Amino acid sequence: MAGPLSHIKVLDLSRVLAGPWASQILADLGADVIKVERPGDGDDARAWGPPFLKDANGAYTKESGYYLAANRGKRSLTLSLDLPEGQEIVRQLAAQSDIVLENFKVGTLERYGLGYDALKQVNPRLIYCSITGFGQTGPKKSNPAYDFLIQAMGGLMSITGERDDLPGGGPQKVGIPIIDIMTGVYTSVAVVAALAGREVSGKGDYIDIGMLDVMTGLLSNQAMNYLVAGRTPKRTGNAHPNIQPQKVFTCKNGDIVLVVGNDGQYEKLCAVLGLPELAHDARFATNPERVKHQEVLSPLLDQAFLRENREHWVEQLAKVGVPCGPINTIPEVFDDPQIKHREMLRYLPHPAGTMVPQVVSPFRFANAGLEYKNPPPTLGQHSDEVLRELGIADARIAQLRELKVV
C-alpha cells in the first residue's frame, strides 16, 4: 500500500535536526523529499561525529550517526543557493512542490529571492514553513539557537535534574535533543494541517515555527502548576510534582520505575508490597495527600522494594495492573521483546555496500503503508536525477557542476 503522502512533494532546504526530522516524518509517510545541501560539505550534521557509518570494507564514511538518524527516505541534491543559477533551480523545484521547509536565519532566503512572497508567485498552492530558534518576529528573531540553549531559556532545565539540596543536584538537559525533535514533530503536523486546509481553500500558506515557542508549549502541567498556584516549579529529580508515588525505587539487584496514576493502583501497590495499612492511612489514601506527605511515604516504600529483585516486583505489579518497569539501557531497549515485535529497528542497504540501522516511524496505519526503501542519502547522490526531472540536459548539468552550482 502506498503511503498516505505518496502524492506530495517536499523541497527541504533545512539542515541539522528540527527541519530534517520533520521531512523524515513526511518521507516515512510516502512524500517525495528532495534534500538540498551545500556542495562539498552538505548538511552540518553529516560531520557531527564520531560515530560514523562504516562501508563494506570497514572504512569510515562521511555519514555520522547524528545525520543517519534524521534523513531516511530522501533524495540529496547539492545546490549553491547564493548563486543565481542555484536560486533559479530552487524556483523551478518550488513550482512543482507542495511543501518547502527551511531553517535559515530570518531574512536570508528573502535576500536570495527565495522567501515565501517570491515563491508563492511561482506556486500559489505552496505551503512554506520557516523554522527558527525564536520565530520570524520579536526582539530575539535574529538570534542563533541550538537545542541546548532553548532547553535552558524555555525553563526545561529548571525542572530537570535532582533537587539542589541532594547529591548531583542542579540543572540538567534532557539526554536527547528533545526540542529539535519536538519542533520537527510540530512542523510535520502544521504542514499536514495546511495541506488539509488547501483542499478547502485551494491556496497555500506560510507557517512560522519558533523553537522557543515549542519549548514553552511543552511546559504543559508545569506551566499550569505555576499559572494556577503562582509558585515556581522546582527540580524534583525523578519524583513527580503532581502524582505520587511516581519515582525510581531500588531493589535487591537494580532499579525500577513505579508510575502510580490513581488511588486504585496505589491500593493494589500496597497489597503487593504487603503493606495494606498504607492504603487506608489518611495521610496516603488520596493522591493530594500522598503528594503532601511524600517525604513520609517514600522511605516506607523504599524499604519494601529492597526486599526483592526488580524482576519479582515488575512481575507481581504487572499482574495487578500497576505500571512498573526497569530502567533500560539503550541496548536493552532494542532487546526488548515488545520493540522487536513492533519492528522498530530495521536495516536498509546503503550505497557504501553496508547495511545502515534505522529506528523507524511509530506510525501504524490499517489502510496505508509505510515503506523504508531508501537509506539516508550520500551527499549529492540524486543531483543528476533531480535535475534531469526538471528537464535540464546532461551538458548543462556538467556546466553547472563546473560553475560549482551543484
The Cα 103–Cα 107 span in angstroms is 11
Please report the pLDDT score of residue 333 as a whole number. Answer: 96
Does the annotation mark 180 as catalytic?
yes
Please report the pLDDT score of residue 20 as a whole number. Answer: 98
Per-residue pLDDT 10s for the chain (406 aa) are 889 999 999 999 999 999 999 999 999 999 999 999 999 999 999 999 999 999 999 999 999 999 999 999 999 999 999 999 999 999 999 999 999 999 999 999 999 999 999 999 999 999 999 999 999 999 999 999 999 999 999 999 999 999 999 999 999 999 999 999 999 999 999 999 999 999 999 999 999 999 999 999 999 999 999 999 999 999 988 888 889 999 999 999 989 999 999 999 999 999 999 999 999 999 999 999 999 999 999 999 999 999 999 999 999 999 999 999 999 999 999 999 999 999 999 999 999 999 999 999 999 999 998 989 899 999 999 999 999 999 999 999 999 999 999 9
Of 143, 133, 128, the C-alpha closest to 180 is: 133
Please report the pLDDT score of residue 371 as a whole number. Answer: 81
pTM of the model: 0.93
* Residue 257 parent element (H or E): strand 254-259
pLDDT digits (tens, 9 = 90+) for 354-398: 999 999 999 999 999 898 989 999 999 999 999 999 999 999 999
pLDDT digits (tens, 9 = 90+) for 314-368: 999 999 999 999 999 999 999 999 999 999 999 999 999 999 999 999 999 999 9
Query: Taking the CA atoms of the chain, what radius of gyration do you get in angstroms?
Result: 25
Task: Show the beta-strand stretches assigned E in 38-177.
Answer: 52-54, 60-64, 74-78, 99-102, 127-132
Please report the pLDDT score of residue 40 as a whole number. Answer: 95
Please state which CATH number belongs to domain 246-327.
Answer: 3.30.1540.10
The Cα 209–Cα 145 span in angstroms is 13
Among candidate residues 12, 180, 205, 213, the one labeled active-site is 180
C-alpha cell at 175: 539526554
- Asked if residues 63 and 391 have their Cβ atoms less than 8 Å apart, the reply is no
**What is the CATH superfamily name and number for domain 9-217+340-402?**
Crotonobetainyl-coa:carnitine coa-transferase; domain 1 (3.40.50.10540)
Going from N- to C-terminal start, the domains of the chain cover: 9-217+340-402, 246-327
pLDDT digits (tens, 9 = 90+) for 208-239: 999 999 999 999 999 999 999 999 999 988 88
Amino acid occupying residue 24: Q
- Asked if residues 251 and 313 have their Cβ atoms less than 8 Å apart, the reply is yes
The Cα 314–Cα 306 span in angstroms is 13
The sign one gets for the Cα dihedral 188, 189, 194, 196 is: positive
Cα 354 to Cα 57, 376, 380: the distances in Å are 9, 13, 19
Please report the pLDDT score of residue 232 as a whole number. Answer: 96
The Cα 220–Cα 215 span in angstroms is 10
